[in-house]
Structure 1
Amino acid sequence: MASLLPRVLRALEQFHATHPWDHNAHYHRQILRRLPRRFDSALDVGSGSGDLARLLASRAGAVHGIDIDPTIVARARELTAPAAPVTFTVGDVRKEMPPGRYDVITCVATVHHLPFSEALARFRQHLAPGGTLVVVGLYRPRSRTDRLIDAVAVPSNVAMALIKNRGRRSPRPTSMTAPTRPAAMTFADIVGDARHALPGVRLRRRLFWRYTLVWHQR
């Protein structure tokens, strides 16, 4: 059994290399369900190729995306219609957040690149009264519950890859070309720090090695 596991993992890696799908984009519609039907302004932190920012623009008067990678920001601008109320800038939110306060702040698969508590404090500072913060983040599995979710996620991941790629080999989506890094914090650590920084925050584990964090500014 021990010798079989590495071969299974290698086979899965090869499969997903030829049948890639964007785990983060999978949660974009869930993010929209947690937001008002209309709002004035939104900030998408770690906006990547701009897929979520363009979705937010269907409800917002103005959307601003910020990402540290100039190549992916350039691609986001190319993919965005000139008339869309969306702008993108290259920037490092560890040093400076875009000025102003926003009705909605989103952050997908980015906060684990940042000092976690400091990032949440910055988001809170720039969230307008009555505004909503939604984070989709990654965590490091450690507990028995984490392992059980992982056990369900692996076959579900294969099924989703087949469905989204219609069983065919597919190129890697533009949204998946940005640099990545593994998560360092466990879900328990994330919950503890988030509850300290954002009283009343709601967190939930999700499939595909993600969690959601939702908080409303009073």
Structure 2
Amino acid sequence: MRPSPRRALQALDRFNAAHPWDHNAHYHRWMLRQLPRRFGSALDVGSGTGDLARLLATRADHVLGIDSDPAITSRARALTPEPARISFTVMDARTDLPAGPFEVITCVAALHHLPFTETLHAFRSRLAPGGTLVVVGLYRPATFTDHALGAIAAPLNAAAGWFKNRSRRAPRPASTTARTRPADMPFTEITREARTALPGTHLRRRLFWRYTLTWRRP
């Protein structure tokens, strides 16, 4: 007897839980490719334990990582060797952001926790002329294309989890940030709002239930 689709999905969920991996870190190297080889100051919003901030510091004069979770921020400091051109600060981006200006602003898996349009305007005001904004975000699947990408991503997610954990006796924890809530904006709405707030922005759906946004301030 062939397994039902529901049982197959449950089995896939159990496999994924046993072989976790970091979907956000998967895009870190791609983010670096969108940035200049060298730049002055960078702001990483929702910095978690600092993985991306430490990568940015290989190119930046200084990186400021902000996160609303004091425990995760403390962990980021502990994981960052000295001397380092990085500082981490507890700050709630829903109500406040550093004044800037910054030559680079990054935000990974945090924008859906924030007021979307207002936050994009805040990023714009803190980005230096010629600076670059790079976002990896989550969206709510709503269209056929969204669901088709999700269907493609499901087996690839399992394969990536197996590949990344195959040489470890125990699976590596997947999350390096606070637990995220599901996104509530569909990609079409994200695209419309972003192009209004940041004319000329480039957005693209990605695998593993993510989208990317890049914008360079004139």
Runs of 4+ off more than 6 Å: none
Equivalent positions of 1:9-158 (< 5 A) are 9-158=9-158
Task: Verify the 8 A CA contact 1:101 1:126 in the aligned structure 2.
Answer: yes
> 1:4 and 1:26, CA in 2 relative to 1: closer, same or farther beyond 3 A?
same
- Matches of 2:172 and 2:159, distance apart in 1: 18
Q: CA deviation at 1:26?
A: 0.1
- Matches of 1:174 and 1:195, distance apart in 2: 30
TM-score computed with the length of structure 1 as normaliser: 0.95
Task: Verify the 8 A CA contact 2:21 2:172 in the aligned structure 1.
Answer: no
Q: CA deviation at 1:174?
A: 5.4
What's the counterpart of residue 171 of structure 2? 170
Q: How many residues align?
A: 216
Task: Verify the 8 A CA contact 2:22 2:175 in the aligned structure 1.
Answer: no
Secondary structure in 2 aligned to 1:175? coil
Alignment of 1:216 onto 2:212: no
What is the percent sequence identity of the aligned residues? 60
Q: CA deviation at 1:12?
A: 1.9
Q: CA deviation at 1:94?
A: 1.3
Q: Which amino acid counterpart does residue 34 of structure 2 have in structure 1? A: R
How big is the alpha-carbon RMSD for the aligned residues of Structure 1 and Structure 2? 1.5
- Matches of 2:126 and 2:24, distance apart in 1: 23
- Matches of 1:156 and 1:167, distance apart in 2: 18
What's the counterpart of residue 190 of structure 2? 190
Task: Verify the 8 A CA contact 1:20 1:170 in the aligned structure 2.
Answer: yes
Secondary structure in 1 aligned to 2:93? coil
> 1:160 and 1:207, CA in 2 relative to 1: closer, same or farther beyond 3 A?
same
- Matches of 1:26 and 1:73, distance apart in 2: 21
- Matches of 2:167 and 2:10, distance apart in 1: 19
Task: Verify the 8 A CA contact 2:64 2:88 in the aligned structure 1.
Answer: yes
- Matches of 2:56 and 2:30, distance apart in 1: 12
Deviations 1:117-136 (A, max 9, x none): 01100000100010000000
Task: Verify the 8 A CA contact 1:49 1:174 in the aligned structure 2.
Answer: no
- Matches of 2:175 and 2:208, distance apart in 1: 19
Q: CA deviation at 1:172?
A: 1.3
Task: Verify the 8 A CA contact 1:117 1:197 in the aligned structure 2.
Answer: yes
- Matches of 1:52 and 1:26, distance apart in 2: 11
The farther-off stretch of 206-215 and 3-12 is 3-12
Q: CA deviation at 1:99?
A: 2.2
